[in-house]
Amino acid sequence: MERKRKILPPVYLLLTLALMTGFHFLAPIAVFIPAPVSYAGAVLVVLGITVASIAAWSFHKAGTPVIPFEPSTALVTGGLYKYTRNPMYLGMLLLLIGIAVLFGSLGPWLPIPFFIWVIQANFICGEERFLESIFGERYLEYKRKVRRWL
C-alpha cells in the first residue's frame, strides 16, 4: 500500500516556480526568447491551468479524490484522460514551460527537469501501483492504451 505524501504536487510546483524566478532575476543566463515573442508563454500558462482544472473537475464529477494516494473510488478514463494518464501533472508542466517562455532566459528552464523527476518518482510511479492494486486488470488495460504523459 502506498503511503500518503506530506508534500503534495502543488508545493513542488510552487517551489519550482520560485527557483525559476530566482534563476531569472538573481542569476540571469542568456535571454534567448526576446519580447514580444516571449509573450506566447502566456498561452501555455492559460493552457496549463485549463488542462489541470479540467482534469481535477473530472475527478470531482466522478466522486474520486484529487489528492494523491487517497482511496480512489473511480477510474477516470474519459475526457483528457483518453489522451494522457496524468493531465493534472501535464497541466502543471505546461504552466512551468509557459512561465519559462515568458521569462525568455535560459535559467528558468533549469528546474523543470527536477520537477518532472520529482513528480514521476514521488507520485506517478506510486500512483500507478496504487491504482493497479485497486482496479487491477481494468487499470492495466487503460495503462496499455494511454501514455503516461502524452
Q: Can you name the residues that pair with 24 across neighbouring β-strands?
A: none
CB 89 within 8 A of CB 10: no
pLDDT grade for 42, boundaries at 50, 70 and 90:
very high
Per-residue model confidence (pLDDT) at position 91:
98
Question: Average pLDDT, stretch 72-98?
Answer: 97
Confidence band of 80 (pLDDT split at 50, 70, 90): very high
pLDDT band at 79 (very low <50, low <70, confident <90, very high): very high
Give the mean pLDDT of 115-119.
98
pLDDT tens digits for range 3-31: 666 799 999 999 999 999 999 999 888 99
Q: What is the mean pLDDT of residues 47-52?
A: 98
Q: Is the pLDDT reported for residue 131 higher than 90?
A: yes
What is the Cα–Cα distance from 80 to 103, expressed in whole angstroms?
Answer: 28
Which candidate, 66, 65, 53, places its Cα nearest to that of 95? 53
Main-chain dihedrals φ then ψ at residue 72, nearest 5 degrees: -75, 140
- pTM over 0.75, yes/no: yes
pLDDT at 29: 87
At residue 5, the pLDDT reads 67
